[in-house]
Each structure stands twice: as structure tokens, then as C-alpha cells.
Amino acid sequence: MNLTSLKLTEEQVNQYHNEGYLVLDSLVPAEVCDQLKDRMSEILSSFDAEEVRSIFTTNEQARRTDRYFMDSAERISFFFEEEAFNGSGELNQALSLSINKVGHGLHLQDDLFRQFSLSSVWEGVLKQLGMKEPRAAQSMYIFKQPSIGGEVNCHQDSTFLYTKPMSVIGLWFAIEEATLENGCLWGIPEGQKAGLLKRFERTCEKSDETKMVSLKEHHWPESDLRAIPVPKGSLVILSGEFPHLSYANRSKHSRHAYALHAVDACCEYPKENWLQTSSQFGFEKFECA
């Protein structure tokens, strides 16, 4: 990237803390987005769809976890769209149009994604928003496939990456244009002020079994939702407690995005969280120039 630093204005910082999110339009050069997209195509070409068929869902009634998912924290793992297969278990379309997301260790395992993800530019942004010691916890490349791109229910990122005190910040990069038609983000401004509603955690420290724990009762009115369509290369910064969702993509156009979630190393990261690192040094520092 051509960015060496990024200085947020006082107004932008205040907007993030007040509304729970901030949009920086067309920040990442188009050629960088294309490089990440092309690299993901190369990564996907090496995946054997017969090896594993793990389906990603945000439907809590259908949510399940398995060893493949739990081991994905530091690997490059592939998760299918719910509607990718027919009744016989065969793909309805090409593999490249069937994957929901790839995660959660792209920033660890691939040189190009690591260089982009761990840029000192993002560290600077995170510190301006209040983090003392930013660390990259997880990364996901999200496809939002044409016609079958699944809905992501309203959620808060801190549900899945809980810290004490809460510190999660999500960096959501639009690799392609995100529109109302292809499944852009929607969120509830100031919704983070209600606090965290749920925690997704292991039933015990080394278990593959997980549970959703309710912390408080609260209802987010659908009428409060605001669409967040953005052009290619935009960065959407999300507070960990900011409620957001994306609707299903029934259009003919994909909506590729790359999401990186950061936590503050100054905060406690509980062993009950589903995502754990094998490194004694914890999550990755932002050290790339």
C-alpha cells in the first residue's frame, strides 16, 4: 500500500466512540484489493473439497462446532455456504462460488495477507481509537457468493472474542463494492451502548463443545438498522459491541470482504473463548512496514 500512516480526525474518533463504527471510504488502493482477491483464488485452488465439508452458519438453532472449526484459529480453513450443496451432497455450482469464508489464520499463514493484515498503519488506527497494545486475533476472507451468499444474523463481535475489559475492534475491508443488492453491512448506531448481550464460549478449556451464554436481555429494533454500503477499498471500523448484520445475497454479484479482528494485549483474554492460540506469546503484533 501507499499508506505509511493514517491520522484520524477528532470528529472521526468521536463518531466511532459515539455511534460504534466508522467508515473510511476507498482507503485501500484498488490494486491492493485485486492482489488480495487474486491470492485468495490461488489459495482456494489448492483446497480439496472432498477432504472436509464444514458449513458456516450464524443460525443459533443450527450452529455447531467441530474439530475442523476449533482448529481453524491458526490455520487457513474453508467453510461452505449453507446452500452450496444439493440433496445428494453435491455442489450446486463451482467450488469457487460455493465457499462462504476462509479463516481464521490468514494473517499468520500467508505472506501477502500477513503483510497487509499486520501493517503498522492499522496499529496506528487502533491506538488512536483507544487500544494500548493492539494484537491481531483472527482474520477472515468472506465471499458473500452470488445468489447463495448467506445472511449473517445481527451480532456483536465481542460475543466471540471476549476480553476483560472489552477491547475488540473489527477492521472490515471491502475487497469489492458492497451494495444494498449484494449484501452490504447494516448496523445500529449507538447500539453498542446497550452492552454485550451474549458470549460464545467453550464448555470447558480444551473441549470442542461450545455454548452461547446470555448476559442480558435486550432487543434491537429492526427500524434502527442503518445500511452501510461502501465502495471498493473502503474500511469499516466496528466496535466489538456494535450490533451489525448482513442480509443474504440474491444478486448476480459477489461481495468479497476481508475482516481482521484485534484485541488489546493489556486486557484479559479468557480461556473460555473458542479461539485460542498455541503461542505462549499470544496474538500477533502489528509489525509490518
pLDDT of residue 61: 36
**Domain hosting residue 240, numbered range:** 10-264
pLDDT of residue 236: 98
pLDDT of residue 204: 80
pLDDT of residue 5: 81
pLDDT of residue 119: 97
- Helix, strand, coil fractions of the chain, as percent rounded to 5: 25, 25, 50
Q: What percent of the chain has pLDDT over 70?
A: 93
| Chain segment 232-276, per-residue pLDDT in tens | 999 999 999 999 999 999 999 999 999 999 999 999 999 999 999
pLDDT of residue 60: 44
| Chain segment 183-239, per-residue pLDDT in tens | 999 999 999 999 999 999 998 876 778 999 999 999 888 899 999 999 999 999 999
283 domain-assigned: no
104 domain-assigned: yes
pLDDT of residue 279: 76
pLDDT above 80: residue 7: yes
Entry pTM: 0.94
Residue 257: which residues within 8 A CB-CB, separation 6 or more?
141, 142, 144, 172, 173, 174, 175, 176, 178
33 domain-assigned: yes
Q: What percent of the chain has pLDDT over 90?
A: 79
Number of domains observed in the structure of the chain: 1
Task: Share the mean pLDDT of the chain.
Answer: 92
pLDDT of residue 62: 39
270 domain-assigned: no
pLDDT of residue 89: 82
CATH number for the domain harbouring residue 235: 2.60.120.620
84 domain-assigned: yes
pLDDT of residue 74: 93
pLDDT of residue 280: 58
> How large is the average pLDDT for residues 38-64?
70
Buried b (16+ CB within 10 A) or exposed e, 69-96: bbebbbebbbbbbbbbeeeeeeeeeeee
